[in-house]
Amino acid sequence: MAKFFQTSLNGKIVNAIVVAEEKCLDADNNFDESIGKQFCESVTNIQSDLWVSEPREELPNRKGEPAINGYYLEDVDCFKGIQPFSNWTYSTSTGMWEAPVTKPAGDQLNYVLNGETLQYEYIFWDEDNQRWYSKKNTDPRTFVYWNPTTSTWIDFTP
């Protein structure tokens, strides 16, 4: 299945439809966005240049996460979702909104318990305290927050 998003003239995403993959294939059975856009026009009667496909393997430069009321930025081939918080900034290079504190990733998500390396799985933004936090997988009552200055997780009780 392929998802296509209808945009207004200013790029705002106003609708979405799911299209059967075979309706988007060229003669060699390769995904072709323009064929999918033409199909969208045929079933909605909305001109094909107002439709855009979600990011896909076949569109390696397309970035971002499409959302109704978000935007498609044609000049940088990027979806701009809804701003999660007023102090987050949008990066057209990643297609993502970025918090004022960089989200921990990779090895920064690891912690050791009884000699075993575990990983924080769910990382959440705490807008009130301007920090990332998580719960230890082994004890859902134990919370931690990320200290970017020391690159460590600090235990806390909410």
In a domain, 99, yes or no: no
Name the domain count of the chain.
2
User: Residue 134 corresponds to which tokens in the numbers above?
Assistant: 């998580």
Residue 156 β-bridge partners: 143
In a domain, 35, yes or no: yes
What digits encode the pLDDT tens for the residues 78-111? 999 999 999 999 999 999 999 999 999 999 999 8
Measured in Å, how far apart are the chain's first and last C-alpha atoms? 43
In a domain, 132, yes or no: yes
Percent of the chain clearing pLDDT 90 (strictly above): 82
Residue 72 β-bridge partners: 79
What band does 121 get if pLDDT is binned at 50, 70 and 90?
confident
DSSP 52: E
In a domain, 74, yes or no: yes
Helix (H, G, I), strand (E, B) or coil at 79: strand
In a domain, 116, yes or no: yes
Backbone angles phi, psi at 70, to 5 degrees: -85, -165
User: Residue 130 corresponds to which tokens in the numbers above?
Assistant: 């301007």
In a domain, 123, yes or no: yes
Please calculate the CA angle 139-130-68 and round it to the nearest 5 degrees. Answer: 95
In a domain, 87, yes or no: yes
Report the run of H or E that residue 116 belongs to, with start and end.
strand 116-119
In a domain, 97, yes or no: no
User: Residue 40 corresponds to which tokens in the numbers above?
Assistant: 């969208």
Report pTM: 0.76
